[in-house]
Amino acid sequence: MKTKTTMLIITDLLENLAIDTPKEIVELLYKCEVSEYISGRLGANVYRLSQPDGCGLFLKLATGNAALEIATEQNIIKTLYQLFPVPKLIHFAETSSYTLIITEELEGYPAYILKENETGEEAVYVVGKALKKLHNISSLEKLNLPNGLDEELKQIDIALQKSLIDVAQFQEKNSGRTPSEVFNQLCREQQTHQTGCITHGDYCLPNILRQGLNLSGVIDWGKAGMGDFHRDFSSIEGSIIRNFGDKMVQLFYEAYGVSPCDIERDKILFYKKMDQFWYCLKMAQ
């Protein structure tokens, strides 16, 4: 039985569809029920949908920088669908009011969740093996994907131009340095980063789905592109430390197949600085 809140979400969603939303998408949404609403990255609206046959879908709907990420996500999903476990793309549309994407729900649960008798070591093992598989695709396939670092810096530049970065919060987290100072430093240093590897861009435990020791899939590809594998190392290091402790980071690198001493820590720091812009982002416009 739907809750009152869920009913309101359904009504709001259906009544506020853009006039130029493709007919097939409108018809699909009218057949579905909204089982969950989530506030996504950069202010995107995310709806978990249930179809009449019980199969789950996810609808993302956004404007601004979040819309750019949705456009990137659909391109990545189409490219990787036969190569790596990603959600199946059902619909994508750019309307006069927003950009939207609908994907099938993957089975499994986020990697930070430990079921009965499971251990953090098992979860980290799956995560490391999965990332190695993703990065290896770049050497096996000719991928027509954009430079992920270039695209992310462009989005940060847009956010700066629109005054969407909370300057006081940013300076507090960055030893008094302004967003412009840090951004200019990143632009100067970006040339040292490789671009021959496909990176997820936000490779953290909530975005990695598993079933025990098996990978179910990886979601939320809005920051993906060709780049430097340190981009993903930076994201997953922080996520592992937050959920399982810093001792698990070494196990991740063992599962991935690289020695921690071979990691370029200056590049890890580079991406952590870049993430600060998203942590200090005001509500997207």
Q: What is residue 260's predicted lDDT score, i.e. its pLDDT? A: 84
The helices-and-strands tally (H runs, E runs) of the chain is 10, 10
Q: What is residue 2's predicted lDDT score, i.e. its pLDDT? A: 41
Q: What is residue 120's predicted lDDT score, i.e. its pLDDT? A: 96
191: which DSSP letter?
Answer: G
| Cα 110 to Cα 220: distance, rounded to the nearest angstrom | 12
| Cα 40 to Cα 105: distance, rounded to the nearest angstrom | 16
Per-residue pLDDT of the chain (285 residues; tens, 9 = 90+): 344 455 557 777 888 889 999 999 999 998 998 888 887 777 788 999 999 888 999 999 998 878 889 999 999 999 999 999 999 999 999 999 999 999 999 999 999 999 999 999 999 999 999 999 999 997 667 788 889 999 999 999 999 999 999 999 999 999 999 999 999 999 999 988 988 899 999 999 999 999 999 999 999 999 999 999 999 999 999 999 999 999 999 999 999 999 988 999 999 999 999 999 999 988 644
Q: What is residue 6's predicted lDDT score, i.e. its pLDDT? A: 57
Domain boundaries, the chain: 4-104, 109-279
| Cα 157 to Cα 162: distance, rounded to the nearest angstrom | 9
Q: What is residue 254's predicted lDDT score, i.e. its pLDDT? A: 97
Residue 169 neighbours by CB under 8 Å, 6+ apart = 280
Q: What is residue 14's predicted lDDT score, i.e. its pLDDT? A: 85
Q: What is residue 219's predicted lDDT score, i.e. its pLDDT? A: 96
1.10.3720.10, 3.30.200.20, 3.40.50.720, 3.40.1160.10: which CATH number matches 4-104? 3.30.200.20
The predicted model scores a pTM of 0.91
Please, what CATH class does the domain formed by 109-279 belong to? alpha beta
Q: What is residue 39's predicted lDDT score, i.e. its pLDDT? A: 77
- Assess whether the region 4-104 and the region 109-279 belong to the same CATH fold: no
